[in-house]
């Protein structure tokens, strides 16, 4: 019974942390982008204000049931993936439901939200949404290939499909995967650019082309809920990457509050550093056309992924 | 009277009666067909015990029928899907002509498949196989569309399958002097050490029905051209007969050779295994690439069936415990979701007149139940948690990675299954989402007899997602029958040999809790201010679209993907076969002359071939 | 019901330049036909000018094309001068040259924003539009207005250069030159931008003149055509500059042409400030309310950023113009040329091509 | 529980909501007139409107503020009405330039409307031709004040007096070929 | 004059070929006045024989006093950099002009605009009837007898307050009680 209570408490805590961190990261990015653009920029908690504003819209429109459901699919995907991902390395305070975190499961669960969102966008009947969805799905086929290659390389290297085990192994050997298998890391990093949809891979909602694409018809509470889901999801993605390639939050098995806090800080530093990579790249690159983006993923990143697999086999 | 005969008799009687009643009323005829299949199913699952056999002589030849745990898996698909499909047919075929012939052949196909499952000897196996072939042939050309092309193609490939199978049977008779499957296995007929031709010929025979590349070219059009209520069976159950055969042969090859370690130097089963697995994966990739370019929902589903059969082939070919289990699980689940999807396509075809996705769209408000089925089935097809499809996919991946080290194969399979998201979305979007068009304004929901089977199948998909164990149970038993030891399974925990696991119940719990919470929040929040508007009220950059302007985005849906993957679209197997055909023009013409697309001539030739082979067996195959 | 999907780019669309609409018929993401729809900005300027006197028209004229109002003023002033036979002091010619080139630079800065923003590279747009304010400051010092200046009058310019303006202008030019290199590094050195721009929106060289292509798009096809050289006005014949051309006729070539032109403009301004003679800046006109111009007509052309701007001015001898008809570059670029070159292009490139052609809708419908 | 600021009493929930609305204004990307030329400078480095939480939105569903940047041609008016009606409450209109107030220099043009608030409700007018970015920002600040005090109820006014507005609109737009909305 | 040689040559060629009036306005401007039926042949002649391949402009002037529209075709040659202006007059009643969009595609745009703004018919002109205006049912607005002020007053709401011509800034300073500086008073409109 106590175990269950801790689990529920942990789940709630994890959710809150992921949401807050994700929102703040978004705010930091906006602030930093503004600074790079010679501007002062909004306050770092601007995303919270936006969210609150969107949620306090008094009228909302929906084009039907799937439109109504689209943000829900996204929330489900974000939270479920988060729940099945080890946040801290076996820490008592952040247990997750499945302690190991299965890679194949997460891989499939990650597309749940995109597809649900795509269905909602489809129901609006807006041609821009439909075109945006075709772009997004096509791009997904692009970046999933190098991503899965790098995952396979990791699985080969550690003979496990569990994220937990990969983390522990890294901590034991003391070498992060980004150094022990740089090729796989690079392939995954390129895939990450596609996942975060910053330039040059922001082809899905490209405003100048599709007027924000799939989310064209989403406003108010729907947009707000999507924003929440996206924030949680970006924290999930970052933590997944950190777990896989940067040894998670380090080797902390202490149950104490201080140790937990240190672990969280380490995790935040790592995730933020990682997050900056696609953001930096996004600042200075124009947008690809869809087929160029797909070909990009299938060229160098996939080649790196293959090398990564061979590297792991050797 | 023996249950075996009783079941077949009921089915045959059902076929005959529904044929006779077909002229009077299509509904009565359909009801009879449904009743006969349903009662046969009830009889089967209540009266027949596993591992019961009967033997009876047919002249000199000893025939053996029986049911083992392995056949039981397929009986589940055939009879379960058969009952639902025949229930579905009642409304689907309601206003069509020649329904007597349809139901006759429909029930006959079911009968022959049950017969195949019963058969424990090659002769009855082959006879039932041929009955299945030609009765399905009559159903393929039922719509009288493109008979020449589709029918002839089907016939030619069936003939290739039949002849190779026949040759193998004759060789077995020649080498081991038996027609009984169990005796042949005992004698090591499928063993590579003794004779590599027999298993390969048999595999070719089965691969035709399982639509494995390069023998798949008949399938897309045959699937999409038959009446949808039959395609449910055709794709959902009949293709699994090929899987049944392949499983039977492949498992023997790999397990036996693994024990004996006596492998022919020039053609080891590893090569066969790898070839088959890669063929399966390439089938999956190519079929997926084609599926996502289709504009007709039926064709899309047809290609998708081929792709899914590709995964099953991969699973069987890898031949480890988990992979075979995955393949068999996928076979059942594929039967369920593809059956559901073809039912959906049929319902749309019946209600809206066409399944051309460029013409139909926005049916979600008109056909909510059909959409629900389609959604569930598509999630399963895409292999997204938490439905049954995911379980199969997961096991397949885990077995490929952990047990067989086929890393590059995984990438191929994964590529195919990621690309599958594209056509999955296309199917849902094309038929149900998007603008509500004028042409489909008066469309109504399908009748209840079509809805019920669809909903049953969707519920099944959810149940198999949460408790895959209910399918693992028969599968594990069946696998033990064909030679695996200690097949372990859990009710809802999936595990691989590296010790990692996914608990489907937890997944379900999380999803359901989040879903309920989010749904309540999003629905109640600002409930008063939420309006449901029509799809006309969209932001078209402030402009007001004119009446005749089309806002539905349907044509060339995945053009950017196609452009990116252009090299992969350059060659198609169809073209290659045609090239081979034109290269051997005279032979091809000759074949075309013989197989005029008429079932009778086909049957005559097959029987003539059989007789010829039997007469010459001593001279030909005596080692 | 049509088979192709109709896609509206504009009027309310982030990708459109100004308030216009391009209606696309698409299959997949390929455009099978495009049609330009204008009229969202029609203010009946040419009708209103008929009701205004010769000088009042200036308030309307500068609003013909919002991003670049000065060529409009200059062309009109020159047309009036040609009909009336009014002389312009040499100093005024130099000041006009400087104003024209400043206007060109500020418009180029806006183009940097549009071209890079439509391809997702917002950084360059933010920088260049921010830096554009420095030029607007110069305008403000000179004319009192940020956007609309009404500075060039028939017979010269409204007032002389303020004190210290010259140094400020030179300083700004130095600053800009430094910044331009940074924009170029981000934009032109980016392989992604090259991939996006090359081979997109091609105007065939042999058809370009016949299609009515002018300005940078024409020079992008390799044809050297510039009103400043062909029919020199202001002080252009006394200054040294080259007219850059590029081969290819695609977005990339047009971008390269503009990239070189903005540097030429800076050099022209430096030369003009250097060579400017002292003296009168304004050949005074009589009381504007009673000022009539002898009957006659003139067709005058000026090179603006988007291409040549032509004014057809007809006077019937009264104190109001009989007819002022403007032909901006966008009139052909935005309608017939755009409709032709969009066919077969990707949806993603519509905004990109629009920006590279410099389509400015108020110039089309006025 | 209520909170009082600047002599305005508001329930705390409303106060927080208004605070959020005030600091997060999504401006619809619609350049209806020549004033749109001053929007890029307003958004970029020197003036940087994002400091105030002002940012662009691509479609009317996501936008809060409709900026009418100058005169409206009758053809544009129709689109503006459609776009305005597609926006979600609470929504605000800022009219930009003298020509939206009384026609400005286009008072005698046959194709531009002269008083915008007869056709859609306007919350803030910014005068000038054209208003400088500083003026634009001060207009936004004025709107923020209105929002904070809970006075920005013009969208409600539009709904309540829809008939009056419709009458005015239909006077200008002769061929009313709008798709029917269900509100 | 030597420097006008090219201009004179062209003028002479066209004059002899078509027997039309014309003059050299100035450097690089040649003006020709022709009957409306000759227009398309002159344009074709100039385009094919003298490389006047660029259609600069087509403009229309309403000479209501004469009951005529003047249509000017302005074409330009990239080889000589010369501009040729061809003027013609047509009657205002049932105004009709030959369609030349088979010679230049972009003429289509000009002609559609003229059709809409002046009511000049171009037989065989393709393209939507509405180019700039929408649902316009009055007289074509660019005709001089169309009174735009009257139409605007009739159609649009005229907000009171325009006629007093008060200086807004002055009003504001008055309201705030700020003192108006001496120099500013000089420009005050209230006097």
Instruction: Tell me the average pLDDT across B303-315.
Output: 86
C43 and D112 within 8 Å at the Cβ level: the answer is yes
**Count of the separate structural domains present in chain D:** 1
Residues of C in contact with A212 (CB under 8 A): 14
Do the domain assignments include residue D182?
no
Give, as one character, the DSSP assignment of residue C318.
Answer: S
Residues of D with CB under 8 A from a CB of B: 30, 59-61, 78-80, 82-83, 86, 89, 177-183
A49 and D45 within 8 Å at the Cβ level: the answer is no
Whether residue A104 contacts residue B398, with contact meaning beta carbons closer than 8 Å, is answered with yes
DSSP helix/strand/coil, E127: coil
Residues of D in contact with A219 (CB under 8 A): 59, 61-63, 88
List the structure tokens of B583: 């290269």
Q: Give the predicted TM-score (pTM) of the model.
A: 0.88
**Count of the separate structural domains present in chain A:** 1
CATH, residue D135: 3.40.50.12280
Residues of C in contact with E62 (CB under 8 A): 323
Do the domain assignments include residue C237?
yes
Q: Counting one residue from A and one from B, how many pairs have CB atoms under 8 Å apart?
A: 234
Instruction: Tell me the average pLDDT across B431-436.
Output: 83
E1, pLDDT greater than 60: no
Residues of A in contact with D49 (CB under 8 A): none
A39-48, B248-257, C33-42: least confidently modelled range: B248-257
Residues pairing with B449 in the sheet: none
pLDDT value at position B621?
A: 47
Task: Tell me which chain A residue has its CA closest to the CA of residue C350.
Answer: A209
E and D interact (at least 3 Cβ pairs within 8 A)? yes
B414 and A145 within 8 Å at the Cβ level: the answer is yes
Instruction: Tell me the average pLDDT across B591-612.
Output: 60
Q: How confident is the model at residue B623 (pLDDT cuts 50, 70, 90)?
A: very low
Dihedral sign computed on CA atoms, order A181, A187, A190, A195: negative
Residues of chain B above pLDDT 70, percent: 85
Residue pLDDT, tens place only, D58-84:
888 888 888 888 888 888 888 888 888
Q: Write out the H or E segment, with its range, that includes residue E15.
A: helix E5-18
B207-221, B499-513, E119-133, E173-187: least confidently modelled range: E173-187
List the structure tokens of C147: 């956007």
Task: Tell me which chain D residue has its CA closest to the CA of residue E142.
Answer: D110
Dihedral sign computed on CA atoms, order A232, A238, A241, A242: negative
DSSP per residue over D25-43, as a string? EEEE----SGGGGGHHHHH
Give, as one character, the DSSP assignment of residue B316.
Answer: H
What is the average pLDDT value for chain D, to the nearest integer? 83
- CB-based contact, B560 to chain C, within 8 Å: yes
Q: What is the pLDDT along chain A (314 residues), one digit of tens a residue?
A: 567 777 777 788 888 888 999 899 989 988 988 888 888 888 889 899 999 888 888 888 888 888 888 899 889 988 888 888 887 765 555 555 555 667 888 888 888 888 888 888 888 888 888 888 888 888 888 888 899 888 888 888 888 888 877 888 888 887 888 888 888 888 888 888 888 888 788 888 787 788 788 888 888 888 889 889 989 998 988 888 888 888 777 666 666 777 778 888 888 888 888 888 888 888 888 888 888 888 888 888 888 888 888 888 87
Probe site for chain D from A57, A62, A68, A214 (most D CB atoms < 10 A): A57
DSSP per residue over A15-67, as a string? HHHHHHHHHHHHHHHHHHHHHHTT-----TTHHHHHHHHHHT-S-EEESSHHH
> When comparing pLDDT for A122 and B597, which is higher?
A122
What's the half-sphere exposure (Cβ side, CA atoms, 13 Å) at C12? 36
C107, pLDDT greater than 60: yes
Give, as one character, the DSSP assignment of residue E132.
Answer: S
Burial C269-286, CB ≥16 within 10 A → b, else e? bbbbbeebeeeebbeebe
CATH 3.30.460.80 domain extents, chain E: 2-158
> When comparing pLDDT for B182 and C41, which is higher?
C41
Residue pLDDT, tens place only, E124-146:
888 777 888 888 888 888 888 88
B364 and A57 within 8 Å at the Cβ level: the answer is no
B579, pLDDT greater than 80: no
**Residue B345: is the preceding peptide bond cis (ω within 30°)?**
no
The minimal CB distance from A217 to the residues D16, D57, D61 is found for D61
Q: How confident is the model at residue D183 (pLDDT cuts 50, 70, 90)?
A: very low
Which of B302, B553, B558, B286 is closest to B422 using CA atoms? Answer: B558
pLDDT value at position B172?
A: 78
Dihedral sign computed on CA atoms, order D158, D162, D168, D172: positive
According to DSSP H, which parts of chain C are helical?
45-51, 57-61, 70-84, 90-117, 122-143, 165-187, 191-197, 205-211, 215-219, 227-230, 251-275, 329-332, 338-342, 350-357, 361-365
Instruction: Tell me the average pLDDT across B130-149.
Output: 77
User: Which range marks the domain in which residue D37 is found?
Assistant: 2-172
Q: Which chains pack against C, by 3+ Cβ pairs within 8 A?
A: A, B, D, E
Q: Write out the H or E segment, with its range, that includes residue A314.
A: none
Q: How confident is the model at residue B607 (pLDDT cuts 50, 70, 90)?
A: low
- CB-based contact, B544 to chain C, within 8 Å: no
- CB-based contact, A237 to chain B, within 8 Å: no
D103 φψ region: left (φ > 0), alpha (ψ -120 to 50), beta (else): left
Whether residue C165 contacts residue C217, with contact meaning beta carbons closer than 8 Å, is answered with no
Residues of E in contact with C223 (CB under 8 A): 78
Residues of A in contact with D57 (CB under 8 A): 212
Whether residue B288 contacts residue B420, with contact meaning beta carbons closer than 8 Å, is answered with yes
pLDDT value at position C277?
A: 86
Instruction: Tell me the average pLDDT across B544-560.
Output: 81
Burial B66-92, CB ≥16 within 10 A → b, else e? bbbbbbbbbbbbbbbbbbbbbbbbbbb
According to DSSP H, which parts of E33-145 are helical?
39-49, 107-118
- CA pair distance B320, B515, nearest whole angstrom: 37
Residues of C with CB under 8 A from a CB of B: 1-6, 8-13, 16, 21, 23, 26-30
B316, pLDDT greater than 60: yes
Do the domain assignments include residue D177?
no
Probe site for chain D from C16, C51, C58, C66 (most D CB atoms < 10 A): C66
Within 10 Å of residue B96's Cβ, how many Cβ atoms? 14
User: Which range marks the domain in which residue C179 is found?
Assistant: 81-287
Q: Write out the H or E segment, with its range, that includes residue B55.
A: strand B52-58
B529 and D89 within 8 Å at the Cβ level: the answer is yes
Which of C278, B131, D16 is closest to A56 using CA atoms? Answer: D16
Whether residue E92 contacts residue E73, with contact meaning beta carbons closer than 8 Å, is answered with no
Interface predicted TM-score of the whole assembly (ipTM), two decimals: 0.86
pLDDT value at position B590?
A: 57
B541 and C4 within 8 Å at the Cβ level: the answer is no
Q: How confident is the model at residue C117 (pLDDT cuts 50, 70, 90)?
A: confident
pLDDT value at position A91?
A: 54
What is the average pLDDT value for chain E, to the nearest integer? 81
Q: Counting one residue from C and one from E, how many pairs have CB atoms under 8 Å apart?
A: 81
Residues pairing with E26 in the sheet: E29
User: Which range marks the domain in which residue A280 is found?
Assistant: 2-313
Which of A1, B543, E54 is closest to C36 using CA atoms? Answer: B543
DSSP per residue over B342-373, as a string? HHHHHHHHHHHS--BTTT----TTT-HHHHHH
Q: Write out the H or E segment, with its range, that includes residue D69.
A: strand D65-69
pLDDT value at position C152?
A: 87
pLDDT value at position B266?
A: 44
Task: Tell me which chain D residue has its CA closest to the CA of residue B543.
Answer: D79
Q: Counting one residue from B and one from D, how many pairs have CB atoms under 8 Å apart?
A: 32
Within 10 Å of residue C359's Cβ, how many Cβ atoms? 28
Whether residue C299 contacts residue C319, with contact meaning beta carbons closer than 8 Å, is answered with no
Closest approach of chain B CAs to the CA of A264, in angstroms? 24
- CA pair distance E73, E60, nearest whole angstrom: 9
Q: How confident is the model at residue C238 (pLDDT cuts 50, 70, 90)?
A: confident
Task: Tell me which chain C residue has its CA closest to the CA of residue B293.
Answer: C28
- CA pair distance E144, B608, nearest whole angstrom: 96
Q: How confident is the model at residue B453 (pLDDT cuts 50, 70, 90)?
A: confident
B412, pLDDT greater than 70: yes
pLDDT value at position B588?
A: 53
Q: How confident is the model at residue B191 (pLDDT cuts 50, 70, 90)?
A: low
Residues of D in contact with E149 (CB under 8 A): 108
pLDDT value at position A243?
A: 84
Q: Tell me which fold the domain E2-158 belongs to.
A: Beta Polymerase; domain 2 (3.30.460)
Within 10 Å of residue B481's Cβ, how many Cβ atoms? 16
E148 and C44 within 8 Å at the Cβ level: the answer is yes
Within 10 Å of residue B101's Cβ, how many Cβ atoms? 15
Residue pLDDT, tens place only, B516-527:
988 888 888 878
Pairing mode, if any, of strands D25-28 and D54-57?
parallel
DSSP helix/strand/coil, E33: strand
A216 and D59 within 8 Å at the Cβ level: the answer is yes
Q: How confident is the model at residue B264 (pLDDT cuts 50, 70, 90)?
A: very low
List the structure tokens of D164: 């009056």
Which of C130, D127, C212, B576 is closest to E108 using CA atoms? Answer: C212
Residue pLDDT, tens place only, E31-83:
888 888 888 888 888 888 888 888 888 888 888 888 888 888 888 888 888 88
Residues of A with CB under 8 A from a CB of D: 30, 34, 37-42, 46, 49-50, 52-54, 56-61, 205, 207, 211-212, 215-220, 223
B257, pLDDT greater than 60: no
**Residue A297: is the preceding peptide bond cis (ω within 30°)?**
no
Q: How confident is the model at residue B258 (pLDDT cuts 50, 70, 90)?
A: very low
DSSP helix/strand/coil, A102: strand
Which of A16, A19, A29 is closest to A230 using CA atoms? Answer: A19
C109, pLDDT greater than 80: yes
């Amino acid at each position: 019974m106590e175990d269950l209570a801790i689990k529920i408490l942990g789940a709630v805590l994890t959710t809150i942390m992921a949401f807050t961190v994700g929102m703040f990261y978004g705010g930091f990015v906006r602030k930093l982008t503004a600074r790079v653009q010679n501007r002062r920029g909004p306050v770092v908690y601007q995303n919270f204000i936006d969210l609150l504003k969107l949620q306090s819209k008094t009228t909302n429109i929906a084009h039907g049931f799937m439109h109504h459901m689209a943000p829900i699919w996204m929330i489900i995907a974000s939270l479920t993936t988060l729940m099945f991902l080890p946040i801290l390395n076996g820490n008592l305070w952040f247990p997750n439901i499945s302690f190991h975190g299965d890679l194949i499961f997460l891989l499939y669960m990650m597309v749940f939200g995109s597809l649900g969102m795509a269905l909602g966008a489809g129901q609006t009947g807006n041609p821009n949404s439909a075109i945006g969805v075709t772009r997004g799905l096509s791009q997904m086929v692009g970046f999933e290939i190098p991503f899965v290659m790098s995952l396979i390389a990791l699985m080969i290297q550690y003979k496990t499909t569990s994220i937990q085990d990969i983390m522990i192994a890294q901590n034991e050997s003391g070498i992060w995967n980004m150094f022990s298998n740089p090729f796989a890391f690079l392939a995954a990093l390129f895939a990450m650019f596609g996942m975060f949809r910053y330039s040059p891979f922001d082809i899905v909602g490209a405003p100048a082309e599709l007027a924000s694409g799939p989310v064209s018809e989403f406003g108010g509470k729907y947009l707000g809920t999507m924003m929440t889901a996206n924030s949680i999801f970006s924290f999930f993605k970052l933590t997944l990457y950190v777990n896989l390639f940067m040894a998670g939050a380090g080797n902390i098995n202490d149950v104490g509050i201080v140790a937990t806090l240190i672990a969280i800080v380490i995790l935040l530093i790592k995730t933020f550093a990682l997050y900056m990579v696609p953001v930096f790249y996004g600042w200075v690159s124009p947008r690809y056309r869809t087929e160029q983006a797909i070909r990009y993923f299938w060229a160098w990143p996939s080649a790196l992924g293959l090398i990564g697999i061979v590297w792991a086999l050797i | 009277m023996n249950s075996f005969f009783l079941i077949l008799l009921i089915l045959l009687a059902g076929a005959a009666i529904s044929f006779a009643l077909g002229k009077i009323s299509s509904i009565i005829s359909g009801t009879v067909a449904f009743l006969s299949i349903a009662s046969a199913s009830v009889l089967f699952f209540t009266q027949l015990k596993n591992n019961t056999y009967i033997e009876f002589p047919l002249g000199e030849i000893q025939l053996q029928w029986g049911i083992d745990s392995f056949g039981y898996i397929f009986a589940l698909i055939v009879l379960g899907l058969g009952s639902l499909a025949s229930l579905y047919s009642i409304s689907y075929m309601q206003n069509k002509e020649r329904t007597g012939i349809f139901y006759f052949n429909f029930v006959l196909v079911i009968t022959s498949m049950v017969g195949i499952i019963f058969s424990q000897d090659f002769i009855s196996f082959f006879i039932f196989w041929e009955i299945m072939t030609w009765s399905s042939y009559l159903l393929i050309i039922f719509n009288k569309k493109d008979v020449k092309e589709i029918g002839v193609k089907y016939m030619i490939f069936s003939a290739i399958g039949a002849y190779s199978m026949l040759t193998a049977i004759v060789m077995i008779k020649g080498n081991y002097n038996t027609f009984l499957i169990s005796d042949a296995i005992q004698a090591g007929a499928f063993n590579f050490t003794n004779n590599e031709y027999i298993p390969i010929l048999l595999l070719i025979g089965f691969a035709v029905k399982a639509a494995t590349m390069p023998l798949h070219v008949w399938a897309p059009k045959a699937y999409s051209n038959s009446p949808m209520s039959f395609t449910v069976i055709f794709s959902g159950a009949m293709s699994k007969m090929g899987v049944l055969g392949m499983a039977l042969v492949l498992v023997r090859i790999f397990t036996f050779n693994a024990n004996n370690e006596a492998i022919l130097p020039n053609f080891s089963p590893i090569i066969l295994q790898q070839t088959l697995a890669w063929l399966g994966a390439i089938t999956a990739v190519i079929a997926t690439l084609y599926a996502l370019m289709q504009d007709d929902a039926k064709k899309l589903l047809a290609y998708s069936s081929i792709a899914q059969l590709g995964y099953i082939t991969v699973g069987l070919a890898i031949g480890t415990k988990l992979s075979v289990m995955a393949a068999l699980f996928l076979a059942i689940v594929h039967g369920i979701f593809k059956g559901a999807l073809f039912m959906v396509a049929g319902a749309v075809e019946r209600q809206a007149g066409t399944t051309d996705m460029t013409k139909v769209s926005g049916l979600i408000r008109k056909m909510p139940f059909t959409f629900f089925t389609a959604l569930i089935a598509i999630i399963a097809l895409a292999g997204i948690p938490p439905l049954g499809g995911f379980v199969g996919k997961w096991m397949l991946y885990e077995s490929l990675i952990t047990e067989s080290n086929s890393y590059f194969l995984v990438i191929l399979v994964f590529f195919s299954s990621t690309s599958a998201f594209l056509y999955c979305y296309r199917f849902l979007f094309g038929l149900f989402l998007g603008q509500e068009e004028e042409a489909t304004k008066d469309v109504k929901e399908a009748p209840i007899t079509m809805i019920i089977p669809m909903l049953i199948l969707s519920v099944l998909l959810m149940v198999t997602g949460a408790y895959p164990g209910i399918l693992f149970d028969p599968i594990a038993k069946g696998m033990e029958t064909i030679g695996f030891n200690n097949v372990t399974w859990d009710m809802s925990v999936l595990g691989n040999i590296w010790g990692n696991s996914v608990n489907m119940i937890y997944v379900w719990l999380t999803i359901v809790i989040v879903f309920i919470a989010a749904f309540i929040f999003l629905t109640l929040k600002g409930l008063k201010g939420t309006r449901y508007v029509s799809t006309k009220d969209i932001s078209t950059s402030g402009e007001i679209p004119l009446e005749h302007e089309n806002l539905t985005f349907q044509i060339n849906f995945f053009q950017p993907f196609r452009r990116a993957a252009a090299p992969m679209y350059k060659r198609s197997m169809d073209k290659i076969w045609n090239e081979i055909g034109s290269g051997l023009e005279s032979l091809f013409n000759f074949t075309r002359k013989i197989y005029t697309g008429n079932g009778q001539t086909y049957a005559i030739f097959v029987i003539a071939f059989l007789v010829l082979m039997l007469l010459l067996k001593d001279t030909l195959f005596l080692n | 019901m049509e088979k192709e999907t109709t896609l509206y780019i504009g009027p309310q669309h982030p990708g459109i330049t100004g308030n216009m609409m391009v209606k696309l018929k698409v299959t997949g993401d390929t455009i099978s036909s495009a049609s330009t729809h204008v009229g969202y900005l029609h203010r009946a300027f040419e009708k209103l000018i008929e009701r205004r006197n010769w000088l009042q028209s200036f308030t309307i004229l500068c609003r013909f094309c919002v991003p670049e109002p000065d060529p409009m003023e200059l062309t009109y002033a020159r047309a009036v001068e040609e009909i009336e036979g009014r002389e312009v002091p040499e100093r005024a010619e130099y000041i006009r040259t400087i104003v024209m080139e400043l206007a060109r630079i500020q418009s180029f800065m806006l183009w940097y924003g549009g071209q890079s923003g439509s391809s997702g590279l917002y950084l360059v747009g933010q920088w260049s539009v921010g830096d554009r304010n420095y030029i607007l400051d110069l305008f403000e010092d000179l004319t009192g207005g940020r956007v609309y200046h009404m500075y060039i009058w028939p017979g010269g310019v409204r007032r002389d250069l303020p004190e210290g303006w010259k140094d400020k202008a030179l300083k700004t030019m130095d600053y800009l030159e430094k910044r331009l290199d940074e924009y170029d590094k981000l934009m032109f050195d980016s392989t992604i931008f090259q991939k996006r721009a090359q081979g997109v929106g091609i105007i065939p060289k042999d058809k370009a003149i016949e299609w009515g292509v002018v300005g940078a798009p024409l020079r992008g096809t390799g044809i050297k055509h510039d009103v400043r050289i062909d029919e020199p006005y202001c002080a252009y014949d006394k200054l040294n500059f080259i007219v850059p051309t590029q081969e290819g006729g695609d977005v990339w070539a047009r971008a390269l042409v503009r990239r070189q032109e903005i540097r030429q403009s800076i050099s022209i301004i430096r030369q003009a400030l250097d060579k400017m003679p002292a003296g009168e800046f304004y050949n005074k006109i009589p009381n504007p309310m009673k000022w009539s111009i002898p009957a006659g007509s003139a067709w005058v052309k000026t090179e603006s950023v988007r291409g040549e701007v032509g004014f057809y001015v007809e006077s019937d001898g009264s104190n109001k113009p009989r007819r002022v008809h403007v032909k901006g570059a966008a009139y052909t670029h935005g309608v017939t040329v755009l409709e032709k070159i969009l066919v077969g292009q990707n949806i993603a490139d519509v905004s990109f091509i629009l920006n590279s052609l410099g389509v400015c809708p108020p110039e089309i419908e006025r | 529980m209520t909170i009082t600021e600047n002599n305005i009493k508001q329930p705390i929930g409303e106060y927080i909501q208004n605070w959020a609305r005030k600091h997060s204004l999504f401006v619809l990307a619609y350049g209806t007139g020549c004033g749109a030329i001053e929007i890029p400078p307003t958004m970029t480095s020197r003036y940087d409107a994002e400091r105030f939480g002002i940012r662009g939105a691509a479609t009317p569903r996501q936008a809060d503020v409709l900026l009418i940047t100058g005169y409206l041609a009758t053809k544009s008016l129709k689109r503006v009405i459609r776009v305005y009606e597609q926006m979600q409450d609470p929504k605000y209109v800022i009219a930009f330039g003298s020509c939206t107030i009384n026609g400005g220099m286009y008072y005698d043009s046959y194709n531009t409307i002269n008083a915008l608030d007869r056709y859609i409700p306007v919350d803030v007018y910014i005068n000038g031709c054209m208003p400088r970015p500083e003026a634009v920002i001060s207009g936004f600040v004025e709107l923020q004040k209105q929002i904070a005090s809970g006075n920005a109820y013009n969208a409600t006014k539009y709904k309540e007096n829809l008939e009056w507005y419709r009458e005015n609109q239909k006077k200008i737009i002769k061929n009313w070929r709008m798709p029917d909305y269900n509100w | 004059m030597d420097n006008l040689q090219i201009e004179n040559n062209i003028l002479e060629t066209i004059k002899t070929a078509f027997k039309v009036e014309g003059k050299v306005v100035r450097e690089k401007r040649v003006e020709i006045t022709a009957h409306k039926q000759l227009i398309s042949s002159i344009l074709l002649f100039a385009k094919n024989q003298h490389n006047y391949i660029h259609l600069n402009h087509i403009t229309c002037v309403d000479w209501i006093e004469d009951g005529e529209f003047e249509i000017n075709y302005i074409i330009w040659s990239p080889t000589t950099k010369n501009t040729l202006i061809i003027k013609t007059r047509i009657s205002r009643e049932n105004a009709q002009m030959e369609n030349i969009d088979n010679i230049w595609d972009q003429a289509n745009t000009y002609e559609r605009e003229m059709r809409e703004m002046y009511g000049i018919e171009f037989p065989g002109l393709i393209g939507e009837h509405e180019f700039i205006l929408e649902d316009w049912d009055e007289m074509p607005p660019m005709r001089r007898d169309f009174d735009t002020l009257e139409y605007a007053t009739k159609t649009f709401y005229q907000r009171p307050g325009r006629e007093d011509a008060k200086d807004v800034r002055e009003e504001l300073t008055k309201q705030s009680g700020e003192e108006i500086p001496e120099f500013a008073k000089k420009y005050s409109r209230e006097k």
